[in-house]
Amino acid sequence: MKIAVIGAGTIGLSWTKLFADHGHDVRVSDPRADLADVLREFDPARVRAAADLADAVRDADVVQENGPENLEFKKDLFATLVEQAPRHALLLSSSSAIPAGAFAPADGERVLIGHPFNPPHVLPLVEVVPSERTSEDSVRRAVEFYRSLGRTPVVEHKEVPGFVGNRLQAALQREAVSLVQQGVVSPAELDAVVVNSLGPRWATVGPFLGAHLGGGPGGYRHLTSHIGSSMSNLSVGKPDTSPEATERVVEAVEQAYGDKSYEELAEARDRTQLAILSVTGEEK
């Protein structure tokens, strides 16, 4: 297949690796001045820099957009993509929070969300989120496309900002920041709590099955009737979002992890996540 990657940031380059590793021809479009340099790590027979947006999408079968999280930018871009990409091309967005219905043009039946978790060449999930204008055929083709890449597409039934994964992540992150601000734990200590409890559990069963098993033979029903009320009465923290308070949390995270480079931390993350996926049978 011929795939256009629009935006060569962290997510776009990770998609590029995944697409190229599966034998597809990839054209990458991005205004960054060092685009040719960052693409040198890829096989030039598979991946090349596009001269411009029109060159990237001219004969594309799939377009994967990874541009700024800006509504007006996406409106303009997808209006252009509908006009310039071939009529059969899927127009997919890696949008982190903005639903396709907010930026898809009136004739955007091929426009939908294909939201990965970072990095998409490692983590299997792709949230496939159509708008009311997206055709069923486009949803079907998007699911088939991501499955062909060894990903795990989950089609969501309703558009909500942030979709599912990022909403769950945001809820946990808010409580994490609140606990650090209250002085309950440091950032590194909180990470240790998650890595040694919720992380392994949710990597294998997820929140609902984990709770169902937590109820013993009585399952989720037993859990909710016995400890559900005490858990529901826990007040969720409201972190201080002022610039001063935010800066203190940022400095605490940098103090915890600033002794290693981004490359070192990302390599260790990817290596560990691949090992976990190989054990759980999710590695593709």
CA distance 128 to 175: 27
Which of the following is catalytic: 41, 127, 175, 189?
Answer: 127
Give me 28's structure tokens: 């990458």
Q: Please enumerate in sequence order all residues whose Cβ is within 8 A of that of 223, keeping only pairs 6 or more positions apart, or say none.
A: 211, 212, 214, 215
Active site residue 41: no
Tokens 């039946």 map to which residue?
Answer: 109
Q: Please enumerate in sequence order all residues whose Cβ is within 8 A of that of 120, keeping only pairs 6 or more positions apart, or say none.
A: 11, 14, 15, 18, 94, 126, 151
Give me 158's structure tokens: 């309703």
Type of residue numbered 239: P
With vertex at residue 70, the alpha carbon angle to CA 67 and CA 71, rounded to the nearest 5 degrees, is 115
**Could you list the active site residues?**
127
